[in-house]
Structure 1
């Protein structure tokens, strides 16, 4: 679901009341843990954490006017989605996350290539999300992006 928001706070205000606290807590977890250099902004109608053009002028290969995306956070109809591009691009990071997930959640991991879906708001692994956010710096993400994704 896309929201017409002007800021991260505006995005959160538009969410159903039961999602506001969860998205706010995940957002704060990301902001507290993500390495320096990534910037928060609205991206694709979601909360986004990107490499700004000031650090990576080439931008996103699909649309160079956009900064390079790294993490997105969205409230979807039936779940909260955390999109992590590093998991998509780095098999070791993906494997680490899949192995760690059961140590933090009692429910089965629901995940696509970069999308982690949380259907149960009472079973969100905030500490695991925090640790995931620390696993890749801006320069590591740019290098991985250029090596594996940008062609």
Structure 2
């Protein structure tokens, strides 16, 4: 996995070739347009992350902010990490069904949607997935997942 040493989102974007910067910038704008209040955009884990700051929720298992969405330009593709799309979650089902209905190939791991071009994405569906989980709901989901362990 390609990671960046950039300290800021602007620095990260400037490090990308023009064509890749355009794609990442467009997806970043999509995320920011649909992001519920309370998440903050940062550089973390070598990519652009939208997360719950420790000042809002400090009791994470690894003492790191809870990551909600992340975006990176990898060597062969782009990766959009949608942490609520896992294990047949409601968001995962919506995303998979929308791609099937659109006749588009969905290249997705546990929560990583891999794509090679903007045309591979369904922006309205992805925007709805991103908008679907307010901070308090994400914290409740996180706490419930930790209680099961």
Identify whether the pair has TM-score above 0.5, normalized to the shorter chain. Answer: yes
Does structure 1 residue 93 correspond to structure 2 residue 94?
no
Runs of 4 or more consecutive aligned structure 1 residues displaced over 3 Å after TM superposition = none
User: C-alpha deviations, 1:7-31, integer Å up to 9, x for none?
Assistant: 1111111112211011001101111
Report the Cα distance in structure 2 between the residues aligned to 1:101 and 1:55, rounded to whole angstroms.
34
TM-score by length of 1: 0.89
Report the Cα distance in structure 2 between the residues aligned to 1:76 and 1:67, rounded to whole angstroms.
22
SS, match of residue 108 in structure 2? coil
Does structure 1 residue 22 correspond to structure 2 residue 23?
yes
SS, match of residue 87 in structure 1? coil
SS, match of residue 106 in structure 2? coil
- Picking from 104, 107, 126, the partner of 1:129 is 126
Report the Cα distance in structure 2 between the residues aligned to 1:126 and 1:82, rounded to whole angstroms.
12
Asked whether the equivalents of residues 89 and 148 of structure 1 are also in contact (C-alpha less than 8 Å), the reply is no
Q: Taking structure 1 as reference, are residues 141 and 14 closer, same or farther at Cα in structure 2, changes over 3 Å only?
A: same
Cα RMSD (Å)? 1.7
User: C-alpha deviations, 1:41-94, integer Å up to 9, x for none?
Assistant: 0010000000111211113x1x21x11111110000111101111112662221
Report the Cα distance in structure 2 between the residues aligned to 1:148 and 1:101, rounded to whole angstroms.
27
Q: Taking structure 1 as reference, are residues 119 and 149 closer, same or farther at Cα in structure 2, changes over 3 Å only?
A: farther
TM-score by length of 2: 0.90
Does structure 1 residue 144 correspond to structure 2 residue 145?
no
Task: Give unmatched runs, 5+ long, in structure 1.
Answer: none
Shift of 1:149: 4.4
